[in-house]
């Protein structure tokens, strides 16, 4: 097993010759050795890969069955010293019946034999002509049969324990059934499923197979490794093109190429920790429903010769996990924006508010909130002037953001108010006897609270609803003034992290602003997208430019969002998150920089929970959310020492 809960697995598609067991086993052996040198711990081959799947009535020949066993026996001897397990397909004769089976082999021995449960009987497949179906029912427990000179567990309900996880096996048609055996396997503890298949190619079939496997992987919250027969199988009536896939909880990690004339080997690192974290939150995996077989045997496969070398991680780690990575990016962004819109629409209708009030700073967060308000009004067929946008310039307001705020509001046709807060803040400093030249937290927070007071009072005056503009990243870090911009009557961005805000504004610019009257809006939005993130609470320079940049103070939001995602979504430790960050941000951030901002993240996340404990309502958008009423319930006085000590240990390495 590789570091940090990752397990490298492989799916192999060897070249085969029909009924030539010696040739086929030689190809299998070569691929096993190759996979072992690359750190693979378990490799799976296609259905009946030792004989080839398309032998037809040759399966009735004793010579073929004996040759398969003899060559498997030789293969076991030649691979006994390798720290790799392999799964191969072989016809097994037992009690005068022939079974289409998978052999699970490890350190020179067959450790289990899993027969196929569901046999196809289509026009192109006549498996029932040659093989016996092995029905997995409650009365049947794994038995032992003799194979390759040893007594071996035989049955469908066998789990193989490799220390970090348990895996199970099903064969081809099994996953197409109404209740696949893998459903029972995962309910009984398997987190990895291997499928040996021999599925012929048909027009449109590949996408269906991928959808089927993806769904089963997601439904079972498991890793699913599928490999199907390829070049060399008989083409008398059908063609086998060699499809192999590795899925993790429904997500495709690796796939083979189609229509290849040579063998293929794909591999990837499955995150066992991730799968376990998903299951901890899903009570479906507690208990074993009676419809599944409960008589499981467990075979332990712990290596006596584990690999000493650590192999590099063989999978993509997305540096922006909150940004949709789908075939239809536009559709994903549209869904997110529509969730925000619907949440606000419901709150507006429920409260019978006459107006929507929000502060518009010319920054990204308030821009996204304003766009949501505008499109909500449009959908409810309300006039846009029922939206009251308020720009409230103060000591740190730059010319650029102020002008963008005014231009944006005017171009969108909403009601515009400008209320300068400078005089009010100066009076407040006099009232509390604060030196205006002392630019400390009091100086900054006074401005934020003054702005919130204005918005709340306007809401009372206009029978309105104050729309919050703060985002989820700010909530995570506590980068908001308590009872200032921290408070609103509905937070439309509460489920949107900072890294996603920019993408959504850009998406709206390109997809929702498509009329001639909104050309000015598009120009303004593009400049806002390019504007650095800043609270603008410290005085501007002599030319009216901002002097305060958020990411210089608390660190890059792309790092904080990365830490936030893996901490909350999967409960990963700082050490594992650091490992993933090194992989995701390689050649972008030095390791010392990653640890510096990770420490800032954990310190702020723990110390600022009190702000999240009383955060306003706001809709959940993705799988991570900080609402104290739903996804994240943490004591405000929880101690961060465990996490910070681990970061200190990482610094000393």
pLDDT at residue number 444: 94
Q: Going from the N-terminus, what domains does the chain have, and what CATH number goes with each?
A: 3-282+289-300 (3.60.110.10), 329-652 (3.40.50.620)
Burial of 434 (0-12, 13-18, 19+ CB in 10 A): middle
Give the DSSP H/E element, type plus range, for residue 401: helix 399-412
Q: Are 210 and 218 in contact (CB under 8 A)?
A: no
Catalytic (active-site) positions = 47, 116, 172
Q: Are 416 and 406 in contact (CB under 8 A)?
A: yes
pLDDT at residue number 513: 63
pLDDT digits (tens, 9 = 90+) for 28-82: 999 999 999 999 999 999 999 999 999 999 999 999 999 999 999 999 999 999 9
491: left (phi over 0), alpha (psi -120 to 50) or beta: beta
pLDDT at residue number 308: 63
pLDDT at residue number 150: 92
Angle between helices 272-280 and 557-570 (to 10 degrees): 60
pLDDT at residue number 238: 85
pLDDT at residue number 473: 97
> For the chain, what is the largest distance between any 2 Cα atoms, rounded to a whole number of angstroms?
101
Nearest to 35, CA basis, from 253, 314, 425? 314
What size, in residues, is the chain? 653
Low-confidence stretches of the chain (pLDDT beneath 70): 1-3, 122-125, 136-140, 285-294, 304-309, 512-518
- Distance between CA atoms of residues 338 and 341, nearest Å: 5
pLDDT digits (tens, 9 = 90+) for 573-616: 999 999 999 999 999 999 999 999 999 999 999 999 999 999 99
Q: What is the DSSP letter of 617?
A: P
């Amino acid at each position: 097993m590789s570091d940090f809960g990752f397990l490298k697995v492989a799916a192999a598609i060897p070249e085969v010759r029909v009924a030539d067991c010696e040739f086929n086993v030689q190809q299998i052996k070569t691929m096993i050795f190759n996979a072992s040198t690359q750190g693979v711990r378990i490799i799976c081959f296609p259905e009946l890969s030792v004989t080839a799947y398309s032998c037809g009535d040759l399966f009735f020949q004793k010579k073929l069955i004996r040759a398969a066993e003899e060559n498997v026996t030789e293969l076991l001897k030649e691979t006994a010293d390798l720290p790799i397990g392999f799964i191969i397909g072989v016809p097994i004769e037992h009690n005068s019946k022939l079974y289409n089976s998978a052999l699970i082999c490890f350190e020179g021995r067959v450790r289990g034999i899993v027969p196929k449960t569901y046999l196809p009987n289509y026009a192109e497949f006549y498996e029932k002509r040659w093989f016996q179906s092995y029905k997995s029912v409650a009365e049947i427990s794994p038995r032992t049969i003799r194979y390759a000179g040893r007594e071996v567990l035989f049955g469908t309900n066998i789990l193989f324990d490799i220390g970090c996880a348990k895996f199970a096996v099903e064969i081809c048609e099994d996953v197409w059934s109404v209740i696949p055996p893998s459903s029972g396997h995962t309910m009984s503890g398997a987190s990895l499923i291997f499928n040996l298949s021999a599925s012929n190619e048909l027009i449109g079939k590949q996408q269906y197979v991928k959808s089927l496997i993806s769904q089963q992987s997601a439904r079972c919250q498991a890793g699913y490794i599928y490999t199907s027969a390829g070049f060399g199988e008989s083409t008398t009536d059908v063609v086998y093109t060699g499809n192999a896939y590795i899925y993790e909880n429904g997500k495709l990690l690796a796939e083979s190429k189609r229509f290849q004339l040579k063998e293929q080997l794909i591999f990837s690192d499955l995150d066992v920790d991730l799968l376990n974290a998903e299951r901890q939150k899903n009570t479906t995996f507690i208990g074993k429903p009676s419809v599944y077989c409960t008589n499981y045997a467990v075979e332990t496969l712990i290596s006596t010769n584990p690999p000493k070398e650590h192999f590099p991680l063989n999978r993509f780690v997305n540096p922006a996990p909150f940004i949709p990575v789908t075939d239809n990016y536009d559709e994903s962004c549209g869904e997110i924006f529509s969730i925000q819109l619907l949440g606000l629409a419901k709150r507006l209708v429920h409260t019978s508010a006459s107006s929507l009030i929000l502060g518009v700073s010319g920054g990204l967060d308030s821009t996204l909130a304003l766009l949501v308000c505008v499109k909500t009004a449009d959908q409810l067929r309300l006039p846009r002037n029922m939206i009251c946008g308020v720009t409230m310039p103060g000591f740190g307001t730059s010319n650029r953001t102020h002008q963008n705020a005014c231009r944006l509001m005017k171009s969108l046709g909403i009601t515009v108010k400008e209320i300068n807060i400078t005089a009010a803040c100066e009076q407040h400093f006099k009232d509390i006897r604060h030196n205006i030249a002392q630019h400390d937290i009091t100086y900054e927070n006074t401005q934020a609270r003054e702005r919130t007071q204005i918005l709340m009072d306007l809401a009372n005056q206009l029978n309105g609803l104050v729309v919050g503009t703060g985002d989820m990243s700010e909530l995570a870090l506590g980068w908001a003034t308590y009872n200032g911009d921290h408070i609103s009557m509905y937070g439309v961005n509460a489920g949107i992290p900072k890294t996603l805000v920019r993408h959504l504004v850009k998406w709206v610019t390109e997809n929702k602003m498509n009329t001639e009257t909104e050309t000015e809006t598009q120009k303004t939005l593009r400049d806002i997208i390019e504007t650095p993130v800043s609270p603008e609470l410290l005085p501007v320079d002599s030319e009216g430019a901002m002097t305060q940049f958020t990411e210089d103070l608390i660190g890059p939001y792309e790092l904080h969002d990365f830490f936030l995602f893996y901490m909350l979504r999967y409960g990963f430790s700082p050490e594992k998150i650091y490992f993933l960050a090194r992989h995701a941000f390689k050649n972008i951030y030095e390791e010392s920089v990653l640890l510096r901002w990770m420490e800032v993240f954990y310190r702020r996340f723990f110390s600022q929970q009190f702000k999240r404990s009383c955060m306003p309502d706001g809709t959940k958008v993705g799988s991570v959310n900080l609402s104290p009423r739903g996804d994240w319930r943490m004591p405000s006085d929880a101690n961060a020492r465990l996490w910070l000590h681990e970061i200190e240990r990482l610094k000393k390495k």
